[in-house]
A and B are shown apart, each in its own frame.
Chain A
Amino acid sequence: MPTSPVEIPLPYSPEIEEAIASLKPILQGSYPISPRALSLLLLQGDEEALDQVREQEGQDAFERAQAVRTRLQDRLSEPVEWHIAQSRHQWGQALVEGALERNAPKKSRGLGEWLGMLCMNPITGFPILALVLYFGLYQFVGIFGAGTVVGLIEENLFGEIINPAVTAFVERVIPWQPIQQLLVGEYGVWTLGVTYAVALILPIVTFFFLVFAVLEDSGYLPRLAMLIDRAFKALGLNGRAVIPIVLGFGCDTMATVVTRVLETKRERILTTFLLSLTIPCSAQLGVVLALLSGHPKGLLIWTGVMIGVFLIAGWLAARVLPGAPAPFYMEIPPMRFPNISNVIVKTLARLQWYFLEVFPLFLIASLMVWIGQLTGLFDLALRALQPVTQWLALPSEAAVAFLFGFFRRDYGAAGLYQLDEQGLLSGNQLLVVAVVLTLFVPCVAQFLVTLKERGWRMALGMLVFTLAFALLVGVFLSWGLQALGIAV
């Protein structure tokens, strides 16, 4: 085997080398990369390189460089880029030739390989997806995380021990009532903001991020992306979008940020839209599970409505927005057992992000609620929402749930639990509320992130549409249940 060093840089075809040589006198400026590399970029029409050259060498030299490029392209049968890519690819092969050898038969990866194949086969893949959703999302995050653990932390730790102590302390130290209201009132910074973020959202999100990290680390997500690609094409997306969509079940705000992994602007807009309309985040899932806990049929209908809305809204949005889905390609890494420390590191990193980015927004939300109440703006808004509750055949108290849902979804729901306990809400009404609350306006944090990522026009447009659409679906559902005589 030859071990002598290869003369690097390696030579391209004579035509390309000639073009590089004729560019040499033109490129006089100082560049961050070698003249040779810059020349190659120029010959391939790289825009950033072209801009740099125009800036440093002036228009005249720039045009001469362009002429070299045109001349080269005329001499070649294929795009310059293709020739260069081909040469490099062949060098890669040649350099490894003889250095990479098999010294033992390929060991079967056993269980992992087998499982990986099952995940990609549509016959077994979809049942596996259902199992993952049922155990990972419903049982672990929903029932255990949002139910048991939140119950312990929120009701016992915060509700009975911490919050009464903080309230008593604030009331003793600050005699001024509006400030007391701001800090420990019904919607106070502490009672609403901190309690909500720490006692409710934190455990739910932690459990979700754990599940997500396991799925990620095992190599399941690329397989899911591959499995779902065709279905997503109908929604104007491709398989790549499963990553933000699945993450949305944990936190729609984070998922909206992660839409950056998508390749085209169109896909980013469509995914942001679906996230804000249909994908319930873990906090919402918690609320819905709690509301419908006594009505399994209601939960089933809720799931059906959500899937239906996801498909219909996605399909329609893809028709409205011009363009075609980007083609799908993704490497499929080997399926492997997740590395525990990796999973923990990832979960912690996401939680850190969550706290730095989302937590402050909850505090702002409580401040806004406080101002809204103090100035009477909320009463006005509630009055405006009254007719809406009538269309939905709901008691007028439900308006509070919708208004607060924007700031803190579970708070709105808390009022509903009370109504439910007093026997003022039927199963059907609970179902309608659950559907509207899920579709309804994203939370403040998600709205602000959408604003940042997509611009105010897009964010406001989505806000208005989501509001109208949520109510429309609610009204239809309410009528539909009545007309069909369904009681859940």
Chain B
Amino acid sequence: MVKVPPWLGEVAQTENARCKDMMSRILTSLATRETARIVDIQRDAEGHWRKLMALGIAPGRIITVIQRFPTFVVEVGHTHAAIDRQMAGLILVE
């Protein structure tokens, strides 16, 4: 069972049920230097998913966690981006 960060609320609850079927997990569960494929970006009500898409963080892409603390740093394609835990929590990987 994937832990649901409280800020994701209901969206995450339903997403969580879905991601269990697909054997996917939230990006925040990856260790440093771990690579995975993005299966989905959760559509939060505030539309933060659009910012992730703009950074090239989209379903189908390969993502590597470079650093976890104090903030997440990820590599997608040739982009390095810093995203906080809240943004990272929107990314579902397998």
Contact = CB atoms under 8 A, between A and B. Distances in A.
Do A and B touch (CB < 8 Å)?
yes
Interface of A: 78-79, 81-82, 85-86, 89-90, 93, 120-122, 222, 225-231, 233, 238-239, 327-334
B87 A328 contact: yes
A267 B58 CA distance: 28
B82 A332 contact: yes
A329 B80 contact: no
Contacts of B81: 329-332
Given A227-B70, A331-B80, 9 more contacts: A226-B70, A229-B70, A239-B84, A327-B86, A328-B84, A328-B86, A329-B81, A329-B87, A331-B55
Contact of B50 (A85, A225, A328): A85
A122 B53 CA distance: 28
Contacts of A120: 67, 73
27 contacts: A78-B43, A79-B43, A82-B49, A86-B58, A120-B67, A121-B67, A122-B69, A122-B70, A226-B73, A227-B70, A229-B71, A229-B82, A231-B70, A238-B84, A239-B71, A239-B84, A328-B83, A328-B84, A329-B48, A329-B82, A329-B83, A329-B84, A329-B87, A331-B79, A331-B80, A331-B81, A334-B80
Nearest to A85: B53
B-side interface mostly: mixed
Contacts of B79: 331
B84 A82 contact: no
Contacts of B52: 329
Contacts of A227: 70-71
A329 B55 contact: yes
Interface string B40-54: 000100001111110
| Size bin of chain B's contact surface | 20 to 34
Contacts of B55: 329, 331
A239 to B, nearest CB: 7
A222 B83 CA distance: 11
A226 B58 contact: no
A122 B73 CA distance: 13
A331 to B, nearest CB: 5
Contact of A329 (B51, B59, B67): B51
B73 A327 contact: no
B19 to A, nearest CB: 15
Interface string B12-44: 000000000000000000000000000000010
A228 B81 CA distance: 15
User: Which of B51, B71, B83 neighbours the largest number of chain A CB atoms within 10 Å of its CB?
Assistant: B71
A229 B69 CA distance: 10
Contact of B82 (A82, A121, A222, A233): A222
Contacts of B84: 229-230, 233, 238-239, 327-329
Contacts of B53: 85, 89
Interface string B65-94: 001011101000001111110110000000
User: Which of B70, B79, B81, B87 neighbours the largest number of chain A CB atoms within 10 Å of its CB?
Assistant: B70
Nearest to A126: B70
Contacts of A86: 58-59
B41 to A, nearest CB: 9
Contacts of A328: 71, 82-84, 86-87
A420 B59 CA distance: 67
Contact of A332 (B49, B70, B73): B73
Given A238-B84, A331-B81, A332-B82, A230 B70 contact: yes
Nearest to B61: A93
Contacts of A329: 48, 51-52, 55, 81-84, 87
A332 B53 CA distance: 16
Contacts of A327: 48, 83-84, 86-87
A341 B59 CA distance: 41
B79 to A, nearest CB: 6
Contacts of A229: 70-71, 82, 84
